[in-house]
Amino acid sequence: MNAHAHWLLEHADPSDAAAVAKAIQAALKSGLAAQAVPIGEAGTARHPHDPRLWHLLGLAYRGAEDLQQAIEGLDRAAVLAPADPAIAHAAARSRLEAGLPAIDAFEHAHALAPDDGGIRQGLAAALFAEGRLDDAIRMLEAQLGAEPGWMEGHATLARLRWMRGERDSFVASYETALVRDPGNLALWRALVETLMHAELYEPALAAVGRARAGMGDHPMLDALETVSLAEKGETDAADGAFARLGPIEHVTMATRYMRHLLRAGRPVEAAAFAEPWIARDPGHLLVPYLSAAWRLTGDRRWAWLEGDPRFVGVYDIGDRLPSLDALAVRLRGLHLALHHPLEQSLRGGTQTDGPLFSRIEPEIRALRDIIVETVERHVAQLPSPRPGHPLLIARRAPIGFAGSWSVRLTGEGFHINHVHPAGWISSAFYVALPDGLGGDEHAGWLTLGEATELGLELPPIRLIEPKPGRLVLFPSTMWHGTRPFPAGERLTVAFDVARPPQ
């Protein structure tokens, strides 16, 4: 698909609007947004009244995280096609991601497509971004009352309620919908998975039991029960449940089984299970667990996977920024939630919503530019490609991001050890730090290679001291976390570099 998209981009004639549109669409599907911009600019220059080309050019700019240009292109498309809901939605979404007021734009898109759930979710995000979390929750509640089968709406509402601090009622909309439709497997699955994301495994198991009472047995319920038992640490019960499931055919469940085997203290068995899966795991989901198993069993292949010191880079870049203090002020203004988000690794703090590096504020743009340059420098010093290695891939450009955000931790805050399966290279950039970090316990330091989340006694491969203006880069498949610190504020930016299309 990538080769075909490259061919289309190279051979599209700007005078042929259909060919330009086809090339941009193929590029966007292949993760080649930045490469699509030149042909989009050439096409709109030749066809300035074609709303489709302006729409696609705007999407290409947006994919390349050039939101100012994306907004201009999409606004031009909207002028040419004012009744097109897809254009209106893209324009609203770009304003939101750029950090601009977007409520009116989403309301306009909603008026054009009142049944579009994605637009409603965007409106909720826009309300939240402007400090109207309660209004976002009320809007979602009202819509779910009329449309209880709207799965994405339930997920968004649960996430917002969790960030508002509702620990006892964040899944209330699922429960209300299930009273009306107790045989809805999709609702039961979403409820249980949401409870699992919150690490509420006892309520998740209770929900599985209620689901069976409401709709009978189902293999999906068996799988959810098995994972909940394993994550809860009930080794014998989980062993039996995995055995009853039969052969594992999907890498997601294979990952869950690896977690169970490691947590149960059986690394030899874990490694033997995982190694045949390597060729069937293009997303490298099993790599962090296989690395832990190899380290625990003394298998030197872990060093091939993670041991090269060039895999981790420490770069002090604060003096290249206009002002760390101004950046800190900007970031603090984006931390709108009251509590840490659902599904994330931080504890005792908050995380920003939406792609941080898409925002157009000058402090964010300056940081992004310097980070791109530093990542390019880091990638240039990596060893040559190795077949099957998750970091040492063949094609290493262009540099793009699978996600970017800011984390603000306060006293006793920390990150549990975790990995980033969506990324290629992950990071920590330190903006502001409390006094008194370090000591015998390395308070507030970044740890690489620990997997304490699974109860494993693995020493860190490396401990890194945080300093304002310091950027740390490391493989996304490497376990990482932070040590708690006693008091103060720890303000960081983090991102995942996207794996370039191969």
User: 3-state secondary structure string, 162-229?
Assistant: HHCCCCCCCCHHHHHHHHHCCCCHHHHHHHHHHHHHCCCHHHHHHHHHHHHHHHCCCHHHHHHHHHHH
> Is the per-residue pLDDT at 343 higher than 80?
no
Query: Which residue's structure tokens are 């203090």?
Result: 325
Task: Output the average pLDDT for the chain.
Answer: 94
Instruction: Please give the backbone phi and psi of residue 404, each rounded to the nearest 5 degrees, phi first.
Output: -155, 140
Taking the C-alpha atoms of residue 431 and residue 435, their distance in angstroms, rounded to an integer, is 13
pLDDT score for 451: 86
| pLDDT confidence bin for 414, thresholds 50/70/90 | low
Q: pLDDT, tens digit, for every residue of 189-209?
A: 999 999 999 999 999 999 999
> Is the per-residue pLDDT at 403 higher than 80?
yes
What sign does the dihedral 17-21-22-23 (CA atoms) show?
positive
| pLDDT confidence bin for 63, thresholds 50/70/90 | very high
Tell me which of 2 and 60 has the higher pLDDT: 60
In percent, the amount of the chain with pLDDT more than 70 equals: 97
Measured CA to CA in angstroms, residue 330 lies from 68, 132, 352, 492, 493 at distances of: 18, 19, 12, 12, 12
> Is the per-residue pLDDT at 306 higher than 90?
yes
The token pair that represents 124 in the structure block: 């909720």
Task: Please give the average per-residue pLDDT across 360-388, as a whole number.
Answer: 97
Q: pLDDT, tens digit, for every residue of 214-264?
A: 889 999 999 999 999 999 999 999 999 999 999 999 999 999 999 999 999
pLDDT score for 348: 67
Task: Please give the average per-residue pLDDT across 388-404, as a whole number.
Answer: 94
Cβ–Cβ < 8 Å for 331, 493: yes
The token pair that represents 101 in the structure block: 């007021």
pLDDT score for 369: 96
| Confidence (pTM) | 0.92
pLDDT score for 2: 79
Taking the C-alpha atoms of residue 1 and residue 182, their distance in angstroms, rounded to an integer, is 42
Taking the C-alpha atoms of residue 122 and residue 119, their distance in angstroms, rounded to an integer, is 5
pLDDT score for 488: 87
Cα angle, residue 170 at apex, residues 164 and 172 outer, rounded to 5°? 140
> Is the per-residue pLDDT at 346 higher than 70?
no
Any idea which of 236-240, 308-312, 488-492 has the lowest mean pLDDT? 488-492
Q: Please tell me the class of the 2-180 domain.
A: mainly alpha
> Is the per-residue pLDDT at 392 higher than 60?
yes
User: Which DSSP helix (H) or strand (E) runs through 104?
Assistant: helix 103-112
Tell me which of 481 and 57 has the higher pLDDT: 57
Tell me which of 111 and 502 has the higher pLDDT: 111
The token pair that represents 255 in the structure block: 């990952």
Q: Which residues are paired to 496 by β-bridges?
A: 403
Strand positions, DSSP E, 392-488: 401-415, 425-432, 446-448, 462-464, 470-475, 480-482
| pLDDT confidence bin for 418, thresholds 50/70/90 | confident
SS3 at position 491: strand
Task: Please give the average per-residue pLDDT across 135-141, as a whole number.
Answer: 97
Taking the C-alpha atoms of residue 361 and residue 371, their distance in angstroms, rounded to an integer, is 16
| pLDDT confidence bin for 389, thresholds 50/70/90 | very high
What sign does the dihedral 321-322-326-330 (CA atoms) show?
negative
pLDDT score for 64: 92
> Is the per-residue pLDDT at 120 higher than 90?
yes
Task: Please give the average per-residue pLDDT across 20-42, as a whole number.
Answer: 95
pLDDT score for 167: 87
Tell me which of 20 and 482 has the higher pLDDT: 20
pLDDT score for 486: 82
> Is the per-residue pLDDT at 70 higher than 70?
yes
- Cα Dmax for the chain: 68
Most confident range, picked from 291-305, 453-467, 476-490: 291-305
Taking the C-alpha atoms of residue 411 and residue 338, their distance in angstroms, rounded to an integer, is 15
322 upstream amide cis, omega within 30 of 0 = no
Cβ–Cβ < 8 Å for 130, 118: no
Task: Please give the average per-residue pLDDT across 65-82, as a whole number.
Answer: 97
pLDDT score for 1: 58
> Is the per-residue pLDDT at 374 higher than 60?
yes
Beta-strand relationship, 480-482 and 346-351: unpaired
pLDDT score for 221: 97
**Per CATH, the architecture of 310-497 is what?**
Sandwich (2.60)
pLDDT score for 444: 87
pLDDT score for 175: 97
The token pair that represents 374 in the structure block: 């530093």
pLDDT score for 294: 97
Tell me which of 500 and 49 has the higher pLDDT: 49
pLDDT score for 415: 66
| pLDDT confidence bin for 131, thresholds 50/70/90 | very high
pLDDT score for 378: 98
